[in-house]
Amino acid sequence: MNRQPFRLKSPQWDAKLRPFWVRVTRAYRRRQQLRHQRLLDVEVRGIDHVRSAVHQGAGVLITPNHPGHADSYALYEAADRLERPFYFMTAWQVFEMSSRLERWMYQRYGCFSVEREGTDLKAFKRAVQILSDEAHPLVIFPEGDVYHVNDRVTPFREGTAAIALTAARHSSRPILALPCALKYRYVQDPTAELEAVMSELEERIYWRPRWGQPLAERIYKFAEAALALKEMEYMHTTQQGPLPQRIQGLIEHVLGGLERTHGLNPRGQTVPERVKNVRRACLEKLEAANGEPLVTGQVQDQLEDVFFVVQLFSYPGDYVSEQPTTERLAETIDKFEEDVLGHRTARIRGARRAVVEFGNPIDVGKFAEGAAQPRKVAGPLTDKLEAAVQGLLDGMNHE
């Protein structure tokens, strides 16, 4: 996972979408796409769903999965086919960690910032306004983070559905939500580079490199060893049982302890929702400490624990064993590279191609009208979008 700054009051950047600027910089963007993401080609499917929605004058919300750092490039290739740029709701940390020129470019490409850890009313209202009034589709990643698990959708956050429902209630035009799946495949075998990184990881825990063993086997042996070290750190013992069960057990131990410390009740929330609440409680306590060294140190340690929970959550535990494809092996080693070796982002180890597929649109207003409890429809709409994106991915994986 990527380390990012967090604070209660984040800077804000608004979108200043300029279609002309998007067109004239297209060649530059594609060079960057190839140079930094090694993305050779993007196949776009179902673009007629988007085109039809735009032509009927609807507000269009696109809800993709978020498997990697090339996602915006892939989606802008889809926008090129549509001949209409997209707006993007973007974590404020992306702006914060970029140069002034990059920030300027992001804004002209339709990006506006959002504080994901709190209730960012300005970003919420801006998203609603785009859906209600603008002629360009809006992209929101409901997963919130990049988990490097391309074949599985992680739980969608309900904020995306809440934005769509608010726009549907207040807009004079229909609001259509389009599920969208992004899938990457290697067209150049990265195995040699993956094995080299695996050897570096093994040496990091004072093992001799396991040359000659299957890469999937090396991944799981390393994962078992790394998890045992963290279990000893947090639990003072190691757990027994399958890897997914042990990962979940350690998540509950660390996250549950933080929730008890801050007096929080998870009430059946997903791990990302629980993480968001704990992180916000930590940030509030940090602000109230006003620089007092002891409290500040304690809260900083708690924030590190929160980040560790997010790292744990990104590992399903059975992702490689279920289907040891080149892509799943690479994604897992990518995560190890970020989490164990401390790289800001994982290196791309081979040329790739992407598929962007849009599914059937969901009329948000009609969905709300047909719900048993119209006031509590954000959850069901979120579930429907999540299932639709997973269905698109499953279809790609069976090709």
Spatial distance between the Cα atoms of 281 and 274, rounded to a whole number of angstroms: 11
Q: What is the pLDDT of residue 344?
A: 85
pLDDT (tens digit per residue) in 348-388: 989 999 999 999 999 999 998 876 665 689 999 999 999 99
- Out of 294, 311, 339, a domain closes at 339
Pairing status of strand 175-186 against strand 138-139: unpaired
Q: What is the pLDDT of residue 3?
A: 74
Q: Are residues 228 and 94 in the same domain?
A: no
Q: What is the pLDDT of residue 373?
A: 65
The total of other beta-carbon atoms located within 10 Å of residue 9's CB is 9
Spatial distance between the Cα atoms of 51 and 62, rounded to a whole number of angstroms: 12
Helices (H), 241-322: 243-261, 271-289, 293-313, 319-322
Q: Are residues 175 and 294 in the same domain?
A: no
**Structural domain that includes position 68:** 19-187+350-397
For 80, 148, 245, the CA distances from 270, given in Å and listed in that order, are 36, 18, 16
Q: Does residue 10 surpass a pLDDT of 80?
A: no
Q: Are residues 362 and 328 in the same domain?
A: no
- Taking the alpha carbons at both ends of the chain, their separation in whole angstroms is 29
Phi-psi region of 269 (alpha: psi -120 to 50; beta: other; left: phi over 0): beta
Q: What is the pLDDT of residue 180?
A: 99
Q: Does residue 14 surpass a pLDDT of 60?
A: yes
Give 78's pLDDT tier (boundaries 50, 70, 90): very high
Q: Does residue 327 surpass a pLDDT of 60?
A: yes
Q: What is the pLDDT of residue 372?
A: 61
Q: Is 147 or 375 the better-scoring residue by pLDDT?
A: 147
The candidate with the shortest Cα–Cα distance to 173, out of 131, 137, 128, 136, is 131
Q: Are residues 46 and 167 in the same domain?
A: yes
The answer as to whether 4 is a domain residue is no
The answer as to whether 177 is a domain residue is yes
Q: Are residues 249 and 117 in the same domain?
A: no
The answer as to whether 2 is a domain residue is no
The answer as to whether 289 is a domain residue is yes
Phi–psi pair at 64, nearest 5 degrees? -85, 160
Q: What is the pLDDT of residue 376?
A: 84
The total of other beta-carbon atoms located within 10 Å of residue 77's CB is 20
Look at the chain and report how many structural domains it folds into.
Answer: 2
Q: Are residues 36 and 157 in the same domain?
A: yes
The answer as to whether 195 is a domain residue is no
Which CATH number does the domain housing residue 102 bear?
Answer: 3.40.1130.10
Q: Does residue 258 surpass a pLDDT of 60?
A: yes
Q: Are residues 327 and 379 in the same domain?
A: no
Q: What is the pLDDT of residue 150?
A: 96
Q: Are residues 92 and 211 in the same domain?
A: no
Over the chain, what is the mean pLDDT?
94
Q: Are residues 255 and 315 in the same domain?
A: yes
Give 5's pLDDT tier (boundaries 50, 70, 90): low
Q: What is the pLDDT of residue 8?
A: 63
pLDDT (tens digit per residue) in 155-193: 999 999 999 999 999 999 999 999 999 999 999 999 999
The answer as to whether 10 is a domain residue is no
DSSP letters of 164-202? HHHHHHH-SS-EEEEEEEEEEEESS--HHHHHHHHHHHH
With b for 16 or more beta-carbon neighbours within 10 A and e for fewer, the 95-125 pattern comes to: beeeeeeebebbbbbbbbbbbbbbebeebbe
The answer as to whether 8 is a domain residue is no
Q: Are residues 39 and 80 in the same domain?
A: yes
Q: Are residues 160 and 25 in the same domain?
A: yes
Q: Are residues 31 and 64 in the same domain?
A: yes
The answer as to whether 113 is a domain residue is yes
